[in-house]
Amino acid sequence: MKPRRYPPVAAMTAAGQTGVVRDIFTTVHGRYDFLNHLLSLRRDVGWRAVAIGRMSFPRTRRFLDVATGTADLAIAAARRHPGVRVVGLDFAAPMLEVGRRKVRVAGLSERIELLEGDALALPFPDRSFDVTAVAFGMRNMPDKLRVLREMARVTAPGGQVMILEMTFAPRPLFRPLYGFYLGGVLPRLARLFARNGATYFYLGDSIRHFPAPPVLASLMRQAGLQSVSWHRLTFGTAYLHIGRTPGGF
Ligand SMILES: C[S@@+](CC[C@H](N)C(=O)[O-])C[C@H]1O[C@@H](n2cnc3c(N)ncnc32)[C@H](O)[C@@H]1O
């Protein structure tokens, strides 16, 4: 297979980036979990657990995992919150196929449903979920405000909207090391293990271009969310943002 090349994120149009993202996640699915754990040094598992530990389900008892991919967040949330029903949504059918197998193996098919769809137009009525989250997916969505508005719309009053993402906002002492990892180590590791090595040039590049925590928080407020907070994870290599929809108790 001819190696692919993707343009830098800064040079992509919104439609161009969405095309690249679709291309990546319809080719990487078979190795996604392995590479995700390897390249994040398995921190992704702990970061999802932090988000899941902060979720609460007082009303609808339903959770929406936007850009669910291979359903890691959906499965971990269902295990941690036994009475909750989960919907995972993604536009890459091959990722969902891997996810469906994992859901079956975990014995959670009764509680987790995986659907093909676009985060820009969530196929759910208003106020359907207590918690709506996206893990490591927001970086791939050029129109972040539109996605956040959709997430806020389908979240019940007083519910939580969570964004978990790898970012390039580390503590100052850690910055050179992390910069070297993203620009030097990560693409080399990827070339060894991924069939589509260009994917991991895109990964490092998209992490560097993700908005800094206060900028993402301000987008969340623009989307109508309140009490927005952010939580630094592993020296600032990832952040969890949480906002609440207005209303509630
Ligand atoms: C890095 S993976 C993250 C998967 C998963 N959330 C996790 O924690 O591992 C990003 C996912 O976002 C999906 N995605 C990107 N843009 C999307 C969109 N507009 N609508 C639905 N899914 C999207 C991709 O198909 C991919 O499966």
What DSSP letter does each residue of 116-184 carry, written as one string? E--TTS--S-TT-EEEEEEES-GGG-S-HHHHHHHHHHHEEEEEEEEEEEE-S---GGGHHHHHHIIII
Is residue 110 included in any domain, yes or no?
Answer: yes
Strand-pair partners of 239: 165, 232
Length of the chain: 249
For residues 106 and 133, the answer to whether their CB atoms sit within 8 Å is no
Is residue 126 included in any domain, yes or no?
Answer: yes
Q: Which amino acid belongs to residue 232?
A: R
Is residue 3 included in any domain, yes or no?
Answer: no
Note the pLDDT tens digit of each residue in 26-82.
Answer: 777 677 777 777 777 788 999 999 999 999 999 999 999 999 999 999 999 999 999
Note the pLDDT tens digit of each residue in 139-164.
Answer: 999 999 999 999 999 999 999 999 99
Strand ranges, E, within the chain: 62-66, 85-90, 112-116, 129-135, 155-166, 226-233, 238-244
For residues 71 and 36, the answer to whether their CB atoms sit within 8 Å is no
Distance (Å) from CA 226 to ligand 1 centroid = 25
Is residue 4 included in any domain, yes or no?
Answer: no
Is residue 14 included in any domain, yes or no?
Answer: yes
- Residue 3 token pair: 């190696």
Is residue 185 included in any domain, yes or no?
Answer: yes
Nearest CA to ligand 1 atom 8: 135
The pLDDT value given to residue 17: 82
Residue closest to 88 by CA, chosen among 104, 111, 106, 105: 111
Is residue 206 included in any domain, yes or no?
Answer: yes
What's 111's domain CATH number? Answer: 3.40.50.150
For a substitution probing ligand 1, which of 35, 42, 45, 91 has the most ligand atoms within 8 Å of its CB? 91
The shares of helix, strand and coil residues in the chain, as percent rounded to the nearest 5, are 50, 20, 30
Range of the domain at 236: 9-244
For a substitution probing ligand 1, which of 90, 199, 203, 207 has the most ligand atoms within 8 Å of its CB? 90
Strand-pair partners of 135: 164
Note the pLDDT tens digit of each residue in 81-96.
Answer: 999 999 999 999 999 9
Is residue 2 included in any domain, yes or no?
Answer: no
For residues 159 and 59, the answer to whether their CB atoms sit within 8 Å is yes
For residues 245 and 159, the answer to whether their CB atoms sit within 8 Å is yes
Q: Would the pTM count as exceeding 0.85?
A: yes
The pLDDT value given to residue 1: 43
As a whole number, mean pLDDT of residues 219-246 equals 96
Note the pLDDT tens digit of each residue in 89-141.
Answer: 999 999 999 999 999 999 999 999 999 999 999 999 999 999 999 999 999 99
Name 102's Cβ contacts closer than 8 Å, sequence gap at least 6. 70, 71, 72, 75
Nearest CA to ligand 1 atom 13: 67
What total of structural domains would you count in the chain? 1
Distance (Å) from CA 203 to ligand 1 centroid = 13
Q: Whole-angstrom Cα distance, residue 176 to residue 4? A: 28
